[in-house]
Structure 1
Amino acid sequence: VNAVSVWLKLKIRRHYKIHEMSFTHGVADAPLKVTGDAPNETGTEVSFMPSTDTFTMTEFDYGTLEHRLRELAFLNSGVRILLTDKRHSDIKQEELRYDGGLQAFVAYLDRAKKSLVDKPVAIHGEKDGITVEVAMWWNDSYHENVLCFTNNIPQRDGGTHMAGFRAALTRQVVSYADSSGITKREKVTLQGEDCREGLTAVLSVKVPDPKFSS
């Protein structure tokens, strides 16, 4: 952000002190300095003005910000995000906090649809420092809606975790249908698309050193 801003100001509350620093066109105006006390607060505040030399449009869209911050609130259960727009006389403010995590996320995505199961299916696992979370819910539509995230960053085109999720889901559903005699009784052969029909899912992985190819 600093490199593409006309100015940027940092206010850091840490170790019971307030530290501040400012930049102009990416260059520090002065070294970081202590400007006050912060006995009961921690955190970092960043203020900046996008540069018109880099961006053709520097006006922020409230709807875009709300959508992205809502995703982050769902992906980080319990985190409170406050979005405030003071650009106009009619001030907008939205508080975003969801303690239900990915289960609350899929419930939000399917809020206007008829579910086929009582509540979302949630799975959580961790191995070799990599955390995987997924929540799934089926509705009575024919549309598949699967959202993928790596370290809170959306992957619109999926990735290896999406491919692995789809393969595992198909394998488990087909295995159950075969072992229970459903496929033989109904004389059907299930494909991956059949298992994902009406599926809404959110898949989130947290990895220490991600590799992005898109």
Structure 2
Amino acid sequence: HADLVSVTFNPDGSVTVMDNGRGIPTDIHTGEGISAAEVIMRQLHAGGKFDQNSYKVSGGLHGVGVSVVNALSAWRKSKIRGNGQILEMSFTHGNADAPLKATGSYEQDKQPGTYEGRSGSQITFFPSAEPFTMVELDFGTLEHRLRELAFLNSGVRIILTDARHADVVRHELHYDGGLEEFVKYLDRVKKPLIDKPIAIRAERDGITVEVAMWWNDSYHENVLAFTNNIPQRDGGT
């Protein structure tokens, strides 16, 4: 649903992640009596409590990632855009400062590749120094991972910005070629033995499998496997 994602290292050491997707659900959760957004932020495995058609992340419905980030952050701020409303909520050491509340509105517009008029979510967090001895995040590690995601999600534009220093670094990651372009990137300094990668895509029982292969003049193979965007270090699915 999203075609634009921004990740920014802010000057104060916090990180802001923003997208123009459907936005985190904000309705009152029938089982908990609080907003779905608060359930997602504070409870492990909360993702499985939501209908798969209305709330689904590429890595599955385990509901661990965002609640763990919230718990391990000194503070965290959420801004959610949906149905013309802007709603905000803040947390301190994993606990909500106040219930989710409406703070503004916007004119809805479905123009692709922009945040203007689009639904979506904006999360800003500052890692807590209580569980971590070092709270400075590594730009290179995140760039590597986001580049993988840009290849695996063809057409999605990911903007990574490091504003922690005087010279701001900004990388735009956007690849329309999917896995074919991914293997070309991996082999960019090697001599190919065939003109272009072999690409295979098939779907059965609602499961899609994509494969791209390219031979080069090196003596070592490099096999990368991903399931729902999650890297499988030992291969397999």
Smaller-chain TM-score bracket: 0.7 to 0.9
1:114 counterpart residue number:
191
Report the CA distance between 1:67 and its aligned residue: 0.5
Match of 1:6 among 57, 74, 77: 74
Q: Secondary structure at the match of 2:148?
A: helix
Instruction: Give 1:57's aligned residue.
Output: 134
Q: How does 1:1-214 map to 2 (within 5 A)?
A: 1-39=69-107, 40-159=117-236, 161=237
Identity of aligned residues (%): 70
Who is 1:175 aligned against? Answer: none
What letter matches 1:113 in structure 2?
Answer: K
What is the root-mean-square deviation of aligned Cα atoms in Å? 0.9
**Alpha-carbon shift at residue 32 of structure 1 (Å):** 0.8
Residue 45 of structure 1: CA displacement?
0.7
Q: CA offsets per residue over residues 5-42 of structure 1, 9 Å max, x none?
A: 11111011111111111111111111111111122121
The code of the aligned residue for 1:34 comes to A
Q: Deviations over 1:122-166 (max 9, x none)?
A: 11111122111111000011110011111111111112x4xxxxx
Q: In proportion to residue count, which structure has more strand?
A: 1
For 1:21 and 1:125, the matched residues in 2 are separated by 42
Relative to its length, the structure with more helix (as a share) is 1
Give per-residue Cα distances to partners, 1:42-90, cap 9 Å, x unaligned.
1111100111112221101111111010000000000000000110000
Which portions of structure 1, spanning 4 or more consecutive aligned residues, are displaced by more than 3 angstroms?
none
Normalised by the length of structure 2, the TM-score is 0.66
Question: How far apart, CA to CA, are the structure 2 residues paired with 1:54 and 1:131?
Answer: 39
Gaps of 5+ in 2: 1-68, 108-116
Classify the secondary structure of the residue corresponding to 1:147: coil
SS at match of 2:147: helix
Instruction: Report how many residues are paired.
Output: 160
SS at match of 2:214: strand
Q: Distance in 2 between matches of 1:75 and 1:89?
A: 32
- Displacement after TM superposition at 1:104 (Å): 0.5
Residue 136 of structure 1 aligns to which amino acid in structure 2? M
Gaps of 5+ in 1: 162-214
